[in-house]
């Protein structure tokens, strides 16, 4: 019975994602989600003029801005890793 060697001969460095890259990707996806949430809330506010929708839109924009600032700071801090 033949078994595969423990260390594969293929180059896995190109297919693996670093923890830093995953963190930056996750932050970017969270910014996009917050922006979509803000756009949805603005659309709902235009349709029904509920104050809660406007508060949700403003909150989502603040969260998206905070996440973008955090992502920029994280990228600068971990630039040499």
In a domain? residue 64: yes
Give 14-57 as a DSSP string: TT---HHHHHHHHHHHHHHHHHHHHHHHHHHHHHH--HHHHHHH
For the chain, what is the domain count? 1
Per-residue pLDDT reduced to its tens digit, 7-37: 555 555 566 878 999 999 999 999 999 999 9
Supply the range of the domain harboring residue 46: 19-77
Per-residue pLDDT reduced to its tens digit, 27-63: 999 999 999 999 999 999 999 888 999 999 999 999 9
In a domain? residue 5: no
Full-model pTM: 0.74
């Amino acid at each position: 019975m033949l078994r595969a060697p423990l260390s594969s001969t293929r180059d896995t460095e190109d297919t693996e994602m670093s923890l830093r890259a995953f963190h930056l990707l996750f932050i970017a996806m969270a910014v996009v989600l917050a922006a979509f949430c803000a756009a949805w809330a603005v659309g709902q506010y235009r349709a029904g003029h509920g104050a809660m929708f406007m508060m949700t839109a403003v909150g989502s924009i603040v969260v998206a801005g905070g996440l973008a600032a955090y992502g920029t700071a994280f990228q600068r801090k971990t630039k040499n890793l």
